[in-house]
Amino acid sequence: MSRTARVERVTKETKVLVEIDLDGTGQAEISTGVGFYDHMLHQIARHGGFDLTVRTVGDLEIDAHHTMEDTVLALGAAFDQALGDKAGIRRYGSATVPMDEVLVRAAVDLSGRPYVVHDEPPLAPYIGPVYPTSMTRHIWESFGQAARITLHVDVLRAARPGGHPDAHHVVEAQFKAVSRALREATAVDPRAAGAIPSTKGAL
């Protein structure tokens, strides 16, 4: 069965197209107009093993908020759509990812129940000229809501000796950890024989 999805989201503020193949090879075509955000969405494709296309045109003349929010809402909806009834998947996934001085743990449950816990230290307000670091929490909350998943993201270690956390490393390690956790959770379980991974019989 093909585990693919195409989601289009159009508002007065943005126009978003997302296409995903959960059984891809990590190929990506990403364009949101927010350079660092594009780089992070590439992490989801590469480390998740998903083929991903994202094309967003947004009101960047105001700020990056609407563009980033609407993009991740469409991405979450695409994940949910591509998973279908979730028969035969592993359901749970976790990953602990180091990136130099940073260590991040992510855990996911494709439960059908949106719930997000996110913990990171205070960071510099921007990465590059456009990406506001305050949006990272909102990205995970929006993704969890749209994808209908439980997601925990914890920055376990970030401080450099004698300095402040490197915001680039802290955020990138989060995206890599979530991507690896999603890769595990969405994988087909050869022992499941197509069964729904829940005693309820539905997710």
The per-residue pLDDT for range 151-162, each reduced to its tens digit, is: 999 999 998 777
Q: What is the pTM of this model?
A: 0.96
What six digits make up the tokens of 57?
């045109």
Q: Which residues are within 8 A (CB) of 151 and not within 5 positions of it... i.e. 6 or more apart? A: 106, 107, 108, 109, 115, 116, 117, 140, 143, 144, 178
Closest CA to 82 of 160, 158, 147, 32: 147
Q: What domains can you pick out in the chain, each with its CATH number?
A: 4-186 (3.30.230.40)
pLDDT tens profile 88-139: 999 999 999 999 999 999 999 999 999 999 999 999 999 999 999 999 999 9
108 — phi, psi (to 5°)? -135, 145
Q: How many CA atoms lie within 13 A of 105 on its CB side?
A: 6
Whole-number average pLDDT of the chain: 96
Q: What average pLDDT does the segment 31-37 reach? A: 98
| Dist. CA 168–CA 171, nearest whole Å | 6
CA 78 to centroid of chain Cα atoms: 11
* pLDDT value at residue 123: 95
